[in-house]
Amino acid sequence: MQNIARGFLVGVGVLLGASGASALEARFDRPTYKTQGQVRLDNCERFGSSCGQPAADHYCQLQGYERAVSFETVRASPTRVIFGQQCNGPGCVAFKRIACFTSAQQRGRVRDWPQIIDD
């Protein structure tokens, strides 16, 4: 019985090694707007719109990945949306964590952030 289980695990390991060699994932905890370090990244691309998955995908693309595979949010203030507007107060929601994915062997080039659109 142990030999069967060991053989199964070896087989699964070979399959995973062969199929997972060309993918890359990265996790970003408490992502911030640009490189400011103090202002958390809002979970919206634009103030009040394109929130959640679209904003997480855009962040991953800025970091050189194809898309976000998961994310978590948390209330925080202040935050800044990808396009620059700042949110202050109890209604603001930031990304707590974003997991990014690319099917390439290495991430692409890090892109410039969009031009800031202030209110």
Is residue 61 exposed (0-12), middle (13-18) or buried (19+ Cβ within 10 Å)? Answer: middle
Flag whether pLDDT at 15 surpasses 80. Answer: no
Ranking 19-33, 35-49, 84-98, 99-113 by mean pLDDT, the lowest is: 19-33
- The answer to whether residues 16 and 53 touch, using CB atoms and an 8 Å cutoff, is no
- 37-68 tens-digit pLDDT: 689 999 999 988 999 999 999 999 999 999 99
Question: What mean pLDDT is reported for the chain?
Answer: 82
- DSSP β-bridge partners for residue 68: 100
How far apart (Å, rounded) are the C-alpha atoms in residues 41 and 14?
39
Please give the distance of CA 116 from its chain centroid, rounded to a whole number: 20
DSSP for 103-118, please give it. Answer: SSSS--PPPPPPPP--
